[in-house]
Copies of this chain bind each other. A is one copy, B any other.
Amino acid sequence: MSNQQRNMHLEAARYLLFLGDVTEPGYAKTAFGLRDWATDRCLGELRLEGATVSTGLSTLSPEEAAARGATALVIGVAAPGGGIPIHWVPALVAALEAGLDIVSGMHVSLSDIGALVVTAARTGGRLINVRIPPSDIPIASGLRRSGRRILTVGTDCALGKKYAALAISRGLQQRGIDAEFRATGQTGIMLSGSGIPIDAVVSDFVAGAAELLSPAANPDHIDVIEGQGSLFHPAYAGVSLGLLHGSQPDMFIVCHAPQRQHLLGFPTIPVPSLEAVIAQTTVLGRVTNPAIRCVGIALNTGGMSQEAADAEITALAARLPFPVSDPLRGGPSFERLLDACVA
């Protein structure tokens, strides 16, 4: 299947969200992202015994989902390392038997699982791997290209870089600005029907992939690029830095979850300060764009009351010389963040 064919299938897909036996909400990012940003294309969820996380959608069997118009089961969870546990396979086989495709954003290819290949060949179901990057990525050139770019960076993984980029690109579009969301992860690719899974690219080519992802554009066009990881993350910082260099952003927005004390899955490592992330992103980003600058902070205040969120936003806005907002709560602070993106 070509990338173009894959993207057509993704744009038209209607999903049954598969959650496996997940117990950590942070690992169900794909299911939540599809529920929140492609709401009308998500028909229900399917969980295995032991799962404690839910999207709140109706529980459907593959047959029920197919009867309601679903075209694919999407694996909505991602454990560290990106594998597909063997005890998930019967549910995936059942989905194929019900006439669904399987969409996966895991590092392993669905085609490496014999039971899926054999069943799909019989049912005609498609095995769609969203996390397999194109094979013809060049080494980064480092050369500047036209158009403007905003990158969302973060103090950790899984705290709102994709949501912030989606909200900002939509907000800019609603102002009549020629803005586009650029997906760098599996969920974003499922949502937008295009993009490059940057963390699956061979490391020598990461910056080159980021250059491909956001090509030269009209001077007024703004690409809003989904960030990955964090420059201070012990496992993924290399991905973040390659993406920063290849994106050559004119502007960046730091995403932060004020309630998180330690990196997700790394209980001994504290979350870095916003000031440290701003300083490092600026210094390292200057390698490919000397004019790079921070234009705002996107707070993830999920789980906080409106009062607590407002207090956090006000306190940070007093501490830092940038607009601070939770893009999902919107309001005047979000308008100021959008103002900064077009100033």
Enumerate chain A interface residues (CB-CB to B < 8 A): 80-82, 107, 138-143, 198-204, 206-208, 231-243, 245-246, 266, 268-269, 276, 280, 283-284, 287-288
Tell me if A237 and B207 are in contact (CB < 8 A). yes
23 examples of A-B residue contacts, CB within 8 angstroms: A81-B139, A140-B235, A141-B234, A199-B202, A199-B203, A200-B202, A201-B202, A201-B203, A203-B239, A203-B242, A204-B236, A207-B235, A207-B238, A234-B245, A234-B246, A234-B287, A237-B242, A237-B287, A238-B241, A238-B242, A238-B243, A238-B245, A239-B242
Tell me if B198 and A142 are in contact (CB < 8 A). no
Tell me if A234 and B204 are in contact (CB < 8 A). no
**A235: B residues at CB distance < 8 A:** 139-142, 204, 207-208, 245
CB distance from A78 to the nearest CB of B (A): 11
Assembled-state Cα–Cα distance A284/B231 (Å): 8
CB distance from A169 to the nearest CB of B (A): 24
Assembled-state Cα–Cα distance A141/B276 (Å): 22
Known contacts A142-B266, A234-B140, A238-B203; is-contact A280 B284 (Cβ 8 Å): yes
CB distance from A155 to the nearest CB of B (A): 12
